[in-house]
Structures are given as C-alpha cells and as structure tokens.
Amino acid sequence: AHILEGLAIALANIDPIIELIRRAASPAEAKASLIAQAWELGSVSTMLERAGDDAARPEWLEPEFGIRDGHYYLTEQQAQAILDLRLQKLTGMEHEKLLDEYKDLLAEIAELLYILNSPERLMEVIREELEAIKTQYSDERRTEITANTADINIEDLINQEDVVVTLSHQGYVKYQPLSDYEAQRRGGRGKSAARIKEEDFIDRLLVANTHDTILCFSSRGRLYWMKVYQLPEASRGARGRPIVNLLPLEPNERITAILPVREYEEGRHIFMATASGTVKKTALTEFSRPRSAGIIAVNLNEGDKLIGVDLTDG
C-alpha cells in the first residue's frame, strides 16, 4: 500500500513529475528532487477519507514523510518506484487500474481496522470463517464417542525386551539391551559391561525383562522395589547412575543384592544371609506388595548386616 500510495501521488501530479524527471541530469538527481518537493494530494485525499491518512503508512516511516501540512512528501522507496514506472502505466486505462488497486487496498485496510477495533464484528468474522470451514470440510463422524474410559498404565507403553542389569560395588546401576552382548568366536577379546573407575567393579550382573520387578535388598535388611524400565538405560561405556539417587536409602545404607522377579509364584522363597551367619527364608509372595518407602525384609542385630540374597524353589 505504501508504494501504491506513492504511485497514486505521482499520477495526481503527473505533469510536474514528468517535467522534473526530464530536467534531471541523472536518475539520482531525479530521485532526490522527487523526495525534496512537496506534492499535491489530489484524489488521494478523497481515497484516504475512510481509511485515515495513516492507513498505508509503515510503522518505520519517519514523521517528515507522507502527509504533512496538506501536502505529500515521498520516501526513497516511493521515488524509486516512480522512476521505475513504465510509460504504458501512464495510459488512461492503466492509470485507472492503479488507482482502483490503491482504492481497494485502502478499503480492505479500513475494514480490517474496523474488525480489530470492534469485538462484536471480530466475533462475527470468526463465526463466519468457522462456518465456512465447516461447510468445506465437514463429513460424518468416523469415530464413536462413548462414556467408557480405559485406565492406561505407563507399563503398557514400555516395550518388552530382555536387558542386562548391572550394579557396581560403589552403587552405580544401569541397564542396556541384551543385543549389545554378542557371542564371541574363538580368540575373541570379549566386551566390557561398563566403564568404571579403577577402584570400582561390577558387583551384580543379571538378565531381566524391562517389565520385571527388581527386588533391591540393602545392607540394613530392607527391601525396595523398582521396575527394570525405571532404571537408567546407558551404553556399555557408561557408568549409569548411583542407585542411592533412585531409592530412599538412609545414610550409610547400600544395596547389597538385586533379584529380578516377573511373577510372585507360590512355592518360591527368598533366602537371606547376614554377616554374622544368620539366615532367613521368606515366601516370595510375602514381598508381592511394593511399598514406596520399602519394608524390613529381615531384622538385624546391632552391628550385623545383610550380605547375601538369592531366590530358591524350596
């Protein structure tokens, strides 16, 4: 609209502008003269009555340009557009076409400003557009709306796969896909299960399914539950995360044994042994109800600690 407004000013002052360009020694001089002179508004003033004097005025435009004191001052962009105007645009038909384009653009600007300033008209336009979209794209519903809701368990979203779970002596735990471990041919060098510090080593390594439950037994005889998929997944070269950050362990309490369980079957037992030689066997089903804070799996005497746990069939 800004360029069209400049061209409309040029058409309203066509004779003096042609004379100015003809007298100019160069295009640069012609442009400077177009910018420096104050031009009559002509028919542009009438066209701007509805939309407002600033309808086609860019926000970046300096105040000395555009309509000022009843005259029009062209910008550099408008002056260049006038110089680029082809002579055929000066014919009567092209003249009217350009002015009509400018007039239509001003009318559209005025209508849009009215919509923005009128909440009622704005809502009316939104309704009209939504009705048009409905007419163009509506069809019969392809899905059924029912009152039934299905409980989605996060476990249903976890892919089942066999993985290798490792726990280091210093308490770093992780799991990685079983596919990371390939059968070695004769003379193979083998693969490291984890990259650990020199003073650390793998304390527990087991194969489990991502949906299995890991029973975590601590040195203080407590039991904690975790799903395998809740453990951090890491590459062979990664250490994993400290298990103390995953379980509510007390100070100086550490996990000494982990066991994978898929189902809490009747007839299976957990066998526990302490440093002082105390042993205890408990039915696996006794541990089938996880508690977020853990439970006491075996009572220990002062100074004693749980050092070994295994799953038995008898």
CATH number of 158-179+193-312: 2.120.10.90
pLDDT of residue 95: 64
The two beta strands, 222-227 and 295-296, are: antiparallel
Question: What is the band of 206 on the pLDDT scale with cuts at 50, 70, 90?
Answer: very high
pLDDT of residue 245: 94
The answer to whether residues 97 and 85 touch, using CB atoms and an 8 Å cutoff, is: no
pLDDT of residue 138: 78
Tell me, which fold does domain 2-132 have in CATH? Topoisomerase; domain 3 (1.10.268)
Mean of the pLDDT values across residues 156-182? 90
pLDDT in tens, 93-120: 566 777 777 778 777 877 888 888 889 9
Report the run of H or E that residue 106 belongs to, with start and end.
Answer: helix 92-117
What token pair was written down for 162? 């066999």
Q: Tally Cβ neighbours within 10 Å of residue 11.
A: 22
The answer to whether residues 174 and 194 touch, using CB atoms and an 8 Å cutoff, is: yes
Closest CA to 263 of 303, 213, 215, 217: 213
Question: What is the band of 266 on the pLDDT scale with cuts at 50, 70, 90?
Answer: very high
Torsion over CA: 268, 274, 277, 280 (sign)? negative
Query: What is the C-alpha to C-alpha distance for residues 303 and 259, in angstroms, rounded to an integer?
Result: 24
The answer to whether residues 93 and 87 touch, using CB atoms and an 8 Å cutoff, is: no
Report the run of H or E that residue 93 belongs to, with start and end.
Answer: helix 92-117
Query: What is the C-alpha to C-alpha distance for residues 252 and 45, in angstroms, rounded to an integer?
Result: 87
**Residues above pLDDT 90, as percent of the chain:** 45
Domain ranges of the chain: 2-132, 158-179+193-312
Higher pLDDT, residue 185 or 7 = 7
pLDDT in tens, 45-101: 776 666 566 666 767 778 788 888 888 888 899 899 888 877 666 655 566 777 777
pLDDT of residue 286: 96
pLDDT in tens, 285-312: 999 999 999 999 999 999 999 999 999 9
The answer to whether residues 273 and 307 touch, using CB atoms and an 8 Å cutoff, is: yes
The one-character DSSP state at 91 is S
pLDDT of residue 117: 87
Q: Please name the residues in contact with 259: beta carbons below 8 A apart, sequence gap of 6 or more.
A: 206, 214, 215, 217, 270, 309, 310, 311
Beta partners for residue 191, in sequence order = none
Say if residue 151's pLDDT is above 90. no
pLDDT in tens, 210-248: 999 999 999 999 999 999 999 999 988 888 999 999 999
The answer to whether residues 17 and 34 touch, using CB atoms and an 8 Å cutoff, is: yes
> For 119, what's the count of Cα atoms within 13 Å in the CB-facing half-sphere?
0
pLDDT of residue 290: 94
